[in-house]
Amino acid sequence: MGKNNSRPNNLDAFWMPFTANRQFKQTPRMFVAAKDMHYTTDDGRQVLDGTAGLWCCNAGHGRPRIIEAVQQQVAELDYAPAFQLGHPKVFELATALAEIAPESMNHVFFTNSGSESVETALKMAIAYHRVKGDGSRTRLIGRERGYHGVNFGGISVGGIVSNRKMFGTLLGGVDHMQHTHDIQRNAFTRGLPEHGVEFADDLERIVALHDASTIAAVIVEPMAGSTGVLMPPKGYLQRLREICDKHGILLIFDEVITGFGRMGGAFSPDVFGVVPDIITTAKGLTSGVIPMGAVFVRDDIHDAFMTGPEHLIEFFHGYTYSGNPIASAAALATLETYREENLFARAADLAGYWEDALHSLKGLPHVIDIRNYGLIGAIELDPIAGEPTKRAFTAFLKAFEKDLLIRTTGDIIALSPPLIIEKSQIDEIFDVLKSVLKTLD
């Protein structure tokens, strides 16, 4: 097989996403191959993947079953129209997903990304109330620091200022609960923080302001990833659930990061015990191999749409590539890989070792908090005065020089390795990080 891995002469045309383009193009970092736990750079180095790509390659890289499934599918049926026509794999996939989803969630709507899953879930929630004859419930409630992708609905309910401030007035009828980060009371907690269940009561304030009869849904990440890994305080999700139930508000969990084993179960209800009404996913669904997302819906929400004349479309929504055959084949093979290798349980089994290794960084210069759950870790650094993000980004560059891929957001280092990681590789991650943190200004 021929490979062409030489660096392109011109990097100008590609406007890179969420990247400091000018800086990158002066000193590019390029991957040309990946296998299991490692990337290969264009200068031939093996870089340990501490982030599963962008939180997505949960089964690791270059997994044979997934490669084979994609190759076979592309040769057999490349594309089938998504509207008013079907193909077998997408139905098989939906059934397989319903099996690992919470008991009451046996219906799945396919998208191509986390952002699209979020838009789909928000539209479904508003439309659901309307088909039930409750059309005044149109408001959407998000949370400060939330990340729900980059489309207009997602940034409207999202709470990351830099993702919102450039883009006008966004969607109307949206409000936000306060975030749950409380470093004063919870710093260096292992697992879920003790303090902060009362942050959920902020939803009561919002309900009192707008009246429950105007609110369609609340959307939160059960563990807020992109903003820098904020674990839900003990009892917090349960209380959100209770308040939503009390007021007839739908609860949407955005599990684009937490889904598919990251926390030691298929989805957050398996580990936190709180079941929402809608779950949005993407990323780990295909282990990052082919873009795909899925929205899981409680059965009675789905059923509420299945009324009216049978020849009419029930939900005016969908994407050209919803349930694409190649993505479906990749997802089926990914689920088989997770099952065969018991990877969700593996994440749970490794969580203790991971936690100990991570928390051994306590006491190193600039480290002001460490957080973990499952195979997720975060190290929060004290920002350089007047230069926020610089200290953590320097750590990223230094780690990369030492053949370790980490991810930073603000001054927080986020870690989320593929679930196939070995203990020796966990040691390697934290040995490198220790040496990097010791040399930071």
Count interface residues toward ligand PLP (CB under 6 A). 3
Residues 6+ apart with CB under 8 A from 205: none
- Segment near ligand PXG (CB under 6 A); pick from 250-258, 298-306, 324-332, 351-359: 250-258
Residue closer to ligand PLP, measured from CB, 296 or 321: 321
Exposed, middle or buried by CB within 10 Å (0-12, 13-18, 19+), for 248?
middle
Distance CA 131, CA 373 (A): 39
236 contact choice in ligand PXG, ligand PLP, none (CB below 5 to 8 Å, kind-dependent): none
What φ, ψ does residue 216 adopt, rounded to 5°? -85, -50
CB 152 within 8 A of CB 170: yes
295 contact choice in ligand PLP, ligand PXG, none (CB below 5 to 8 Å, kind-dependent): none
Residue closer to ligand PLP, measured from CB, 319 or 338: 319
219, 240, 228: which is closest to 181 by C-alpha?
A: 228
Distance CA 125, CA 218 (A): 9
Q: Given candidates 50, 153, 225, 265, which one binds ligand PXG under the rule CB under 6 A?
A: 225
- Cα–Cα distances (Å) from 78 to 49, 72, 81, 383, in that order, read 31, 10, 10, 49
Distance CA 408, CA 368 (A): 15
CA angle 297–301–307, rounded 5-degree value: 130
Exposed, middle or buried by CB within 10 Å (0-12, 13-18, 19+), for 13?
exposed
Q: Given candidates 148, 359, 371, 398, which one binds ligand PXG under the rule CB under 6 A?
A: 148
320 contact choice in ligand PLP, ligand PXG, none (CB below 5 to 8 Å, kind-dependent): ligand PLP
Pattern 38-77, binding to ligand PXG, x per CB under 6 A? Answer: ----------------xx----------------------
What pairs with residue 399 in β-bridges? none
In angstroms, what is the minimal distance from the CB of 55 to ligand PLP? 23
In angstroms, what is the minimal distance from the CB of 340 to ligand PXG? 26
Residue closer to ligand PLP, measured from CB, 320 or 342: 320
CA angle 267–270–273, rounded 5-degree value: 115
Distance CA 420, CA 37 (A): 7
319 contact choice in ligand PLP, ligand PXG, none (CB below 5 to 8 Å, kind-dependent): ligand PLP
Residue closer to ligand PXG, measured from CB, 147 or 430: 147
Residues 283-322 that bind ligand PLP (CB under 6 A): 319-321
Residues 319-338 that bind ligand PLP (CB under 6 A): 319-321
Per CB under 6 A, does 226 bind ligand PXG? yes
Which residue type does 413 have? I
Using CB positions, name the residue nearest to ligand PLP. Answer: 320
CB 354 within 8 A of CB 375: yes
Residues 128-147 that bind ligand PXG (CB under 6 A): 147
CB 276 within 8 A of CB 232: no
Residues 270-329 that bind ligand PXG (CB under 6 A): 282
In angstroms, what is the minimal distance from the CB of 60 to ligand PLP? 29
Q: Which residues bind ligand PXG (CB under 6 A)?
A: 54-55, 113-115, 118, 147-149, 221, 225-226, 254, 256-257, 282, 407, 409, 414
Q: Which residues bind ligand PLP (CB under 6 A)?
A: 319-321
